[in-house]
Structure 1
Amino acid sequence: MPFSPNLRGSLLMALAMASFSVTDALTKFLTLQMNFGEVMLLRGLFAGVLIGLLVLHRRALRPLRVVVVAPVLMRIGGEIGGTILFLAAITNLPLANVTAIIQAQPLAVTLAAVLILGERVGWRRWLAIAAGFAGVLIIVRPGVDGFNQYAVLALISVAFYALRDLATKQIPAEIPALLVTLLTTVAIAMVGAVVMVPLGGWVTPSGSALGLLAVAAVLMLVGYQCIILALRAGDISAVAPFRYTQLLWAMLFGYLVFGDSPDGAMVLGSSVIVLSGIYAFHRERVRNRPLASTASAQDAL
C-alpha cells in the first residue's frame, strides 16, 4: 500500500531529525577528545568534499561574482554564528536541553519576519511566540541556582539561525542551493580552524574519531536531503511539526550515551515550546488557506 504524500513527507522529516540528532550526539562525544573548533574544521572538510562532488556532478558551479551577494553572505554569517554557539552549548550542557531551546527557531523566524520584513502576524500567533519563549525561559531558568550561562549561548544561537533562514529566503533563484551549502560548509571549516587556536589548538585525532567525523558529515547531508524531499512530498503544515521529533531523539541519545536524565522543568519547557510551535504551524495554515483559494480561483479564470 503506497504512502500518501503527507505521510511520506512526515516520515522523511522524522528521518532527517534522527540524522541530525545522531550528528549532534557524535559531535558532543567528540568534544571529549578535541575542542569544538577542531570538530568544526574536520567535519566541515569531510562534508565539503562530499558536497563539492555533488556540486560538480550537478554542474552547479557559478562564478563568485554571481554567488557572493548580500543574502548569501548573511546566510553564511548566521550559520557560522549559530554553529559556534550551538557547539559551545552542547559541549557544556545536556544534549536534550540545548535541542529543546533550538526548537524555538521557527517561532524566532516568525518574530524576525515581523520585526525585519514587516510581515503581519495575528494575535494568536503572537501568543504562540510568547508561549514558546516562555518555554525557553523555563528551561534556561534565569536567576535560579545552577543557571548555566551556556544556555544563553544556545538561545543566542537561535537568533543566528533565524537570521540564516530569513537570508535564505532572499537568495536569488538562479544561485543553486547546493552551491550555497558548499560555500557555507567551507566557511565553517575555515572559522573552525581559527576558533580552534584559543580553545586549545590542534589535537591529533584517533582513527576512530576520524571515522565518527566522517559519519557525522554523511548524516548531515542525509538530513538536509531528507528535509528537501519531505517539503517537496507533503504540505508544510503537515510535515513541519515532525521536526520536533528531534527532541525525542536528543533525550534518548542524551540518556543512552551521556547518562543525562531530563528534569521536570526541562520536560515542561519542552512541551510548551513544541505545543506553541505546532499551534503556530496550524495558524499559518489557516492564514494561507484563503490565499490559496484566491490563487486557485484566479488560475481558473
Structure 2
Amino acid sequence: MPEPASAAGSRPASATLIGMALWVAATICETAMVGCVRIVSQDLHPLQVVFLRMFCGLVVLAPWLLRLGAAGLRTTVFRLHALRSGLQVMAMTMWFASVPLVILADIAALSFLAPLFATAGAMLLLGERVGWRRGLALLIGFSGVLVIVRPGSSFNIGWGLLILAAVFWASALLVIKRMASSETSPCMTAWATILITPVLLIPAVFVWRDPSWTQWALMLAAGLAGTTTHLLMGQSFRYAEASAVMPMDFARMLWITLLGYMLFDETPTWHVWVGGALIFAAATYVTLREARLARRR
C-alpha cells in the first residue's frame, strides 16, 4: 500500500477530509465489484469468473498500458514479477472460489487478514523484528478468525478458501515490498496484469461457458470498479495520512454486508461482526505501526 509523501500533521484539514472521502469511495467501488462477481458466480465456474475479471480489467487498462509503453515495462527483476503474479493467481482463484460458498459479510471480514499474514511472514521469512505491540495485534487479529469460524461448529470450506487466499495475497505483498525499492507502481501493476491474464485463461478453457451479454456487462463493470478502487486508494494518500484513511476501510464491511442483505437476503450473525472488528482493528494497528516505523527509518 502506498505511503503518504509528506510528514504527519503537514496537511490541511480539508485535504485530509478529501483523502478520507476518496477511501470511502474506493470501498464503494470494491463493493460494486464484489456484487458483480457474486451474481456472475451463480452461473459460471469460479475459474472462468476469475479469468473474466482479469481480462475485463486488462481491457479497461489497455489505453494506460499503451501509453506506458515498452520503456515503462523495463525491469531487472522479472523473476520477482513472475513470482508475485503466481502468488496472486492462487489468491484470486481461492477468493473467487469462495464467493458462492459464504455470505458476503464473511468475505469482507476475512479479507482484513492479509496485512496480518504479511507481518507474520516478514517476521518468519525475512527476519524482521516484530515488537510486543504488533505481536499482540497479531494474536488479537487471529482470535477474530476463531470468533468467525467457531471451531467445533460446522466448518464452511469457503472460510478456509478465504483464509488461504489471504495467505497467498500476503505472500504477494512481501514480494511487492521486496520490489518496491527498484520498481515503480505502474510497472508492477502492468506486469501483474500482463502475466496473470493468460495464465488464468488456461484453466478457464476447460470449464468455459459462453457468457451472456448481461454477464459480460457485469464483468466489465467489475473490471472497471476494481481498477477504480486501486486508483482511488492511491489518490487518497496524496491528500491524507494513512492514520486518517485506514480507519475508513471498515466501511467496506458495512457496504458489502448491506449489499448481501439487499440483493441476496443475507443476515450475518454477531460472530461475523465481532470477529471482523477484531481482525480489522489488528490489521489497522499493524499497518499504521509499520508506516510509523518506516518513517523513523
Query: What is the TM-score when the length of structure 1 is the normalising length?
Result: 0.86
Counterpart for residue 58 of structure 2: 48
Q: May I ask how many residue pairs the two structures share in their alignment?
A: 286
Residue 30 (str. 1) matches residue 32 (str. 2): no
Which residue is 1:205 aligned to? Answer: 211
Runs (5+) with no aligned partner, structure 1? 293-301
- How far, CA to CA, are the matches of 2:266 and 2:41 in structure 1? 16
Structure 1 partner of 2:4: none
Check 1:181–1:286 CA distance in 2 against 1; reply closer, same or farther (3 A cut).
closer
Task: Indicate the residue corresponding to 1:148 in structure 2.
Answer: 156
Kept in 2: contact 1:17–1:243 (CA 8 A): yes
Partner of 1:227: 233
Displacement of 1:190 = 2.4
Partner of 1:297: none
Q: Deviation at 1:170?
A: 1.7
1:123 has 2:123 as partner: no
Paired position in structure 1 for 2:268: 262
Residue correspondence of structure 1 range 66-215 to structure 2 within 5 A: 66=75, 69-144=78-153, 146-171=154-179, 175-197=183-205, 201-215=207-221
CA drift of 1:185 comes to 2.4
Structure 2 unaligned blocks of 5 or more: 1-11
Counterpart for residue 9 of structure 1: 19
- Equivalent pair of 1:78/1:163 in contact (CA under 8 Å): yes
- State the 1:174 CA deviation: 5.4
Secondary structure of the 2:135 match is helix
The Cα offsets for residues 254-281 of structure 1, whole Å up to 9 and x where unpaired, read as 1111111001211111121122233334
Structure 1 pair 70/172, CA: closer, same or farther in 2 (3 Å)?
farther
Which amino acid letter does the alignment assign opposite residue 157 of structure 1? A
Identity level (%): 28
Residue of structure 2 equivalent to 1:19: 29
Mark the CA change 1:172 to 1:120 in structure 2 (over 3 Å): closer, same or farther.
closer
Corresponding residue to 1:277 among 280, 283, 286:
283
Whole-angstrom distance in 2 between the partners of 1:137 and 1:60: 47
Q: CA RMSD in A?
A: 2.3
Aligned AA (2:66): L
On the 8 A contact 1:61/1:179 being kept in 2, the answer is no
Residues 257 and 84 of structure 1: CA distance in aligned 2, closer, same or farther (over 3 Å): same
Cα distance in 2, alignment partners of residues 288 and 171 from structure 1 = 16
Measured after TM superposition, the shift of residue 104 of structure 1 is: 1.5
